[in-house]
Amino acid sequence: MPCSIKTKDKLPMREVNGDGAMPNRAPSRREVFSRWHTCRPSAPPREDWIRISHSAMACTFDAIVSPECEPGIGAAQEYLRSVDRLESILSVFRAESEVSMLNRSAAEHPVWVGPELFALLQCCERLHRETDGAFDVTSGALTRCWGFENRSPALPSPEALKAARGSSGFRHVTLHPDGAVSFRSAGLRINFGSIGKGYALDQGAATMRARGVTTALLSAANSSAFALGSGPGGAGWRVGLRHPVFKNQRFATLLLRSCALGTSGQEEQGFEIDGQRYGHILDPRSGFPARGVLSATVLAGSAAQSDALATAFFVGGMPLAERYCAAHPGIVAVMLLEDDLSRPIVVGSSNHVEVNLGNI
> Which residue segments constitute the domains of the chain, with CATH numbers given?
91-183 (1.10.3980.10)
HSE (CB half, 13 Å, CA atoms) of 236?
16
> Are 238 and 245 a contacting pair, CB within 8 Å?
no
The Cα–Cα gap between 63 and 75 comes to: 10
Strand, coil or helix: what is 152? coil
> Are 262 and 224 a contacting pair, CB within 8 Å?
yes
Q: What is the DSSP string of 250-312?
A: EEEEEEESSEEEEEE--SSSEEEETTEEEES-B-TTTSSB--SEEEEEEEESSHHHHHHHHHH
pLDDT in tens, 168-198: 999 999 999 999 999 999 999 999 999 999 9
pLDDT score at 67: 82
Q: Lowest mean pLDDT: which of 110-114, 277-281, 297-301, 315-319?
A: 277-281
| Residue 264: pLDDT over 70 | yes
> Of the candidates 244, 245, 305, 315, which has an alpha carbon nearest to the alpha carbon of residue 280?
315
pLDDT score at 273: 86
Angle between helices 115-130 and 303-327 (to 10 degrees): 30
| Residue 136: pLDDT over 90 | yes
Q: How many CB atoms lie within 10 A of CB 276?
A: 9
HSE (CB half, 13 Å, CA atoms) of 1?
36
| Residue 44: pLDDT over 60 | no
- Mean pLDDT (whole number) for 74-85: 95
| Residue 45: pLDDT over 50 | no
The Cα–Cα gap between 111 and 90 comes to: 15
| Residue 21: pLDDT over 60 | no
pLDDT score at 56: 95
pLDDT in tens, 272-296: 888 888 899 999 999 999 999 999 9
Distance (Å) of CA 222 to CA 3, 226, 246: 5, 11, 17
- Mean pLDDT (whole number) for 118-142: 97
First to last CA, the chain: 23
pLDDT score at 6: 54
pLDDT score at 28: 32
Strand, coil or helix: what is 111? strand
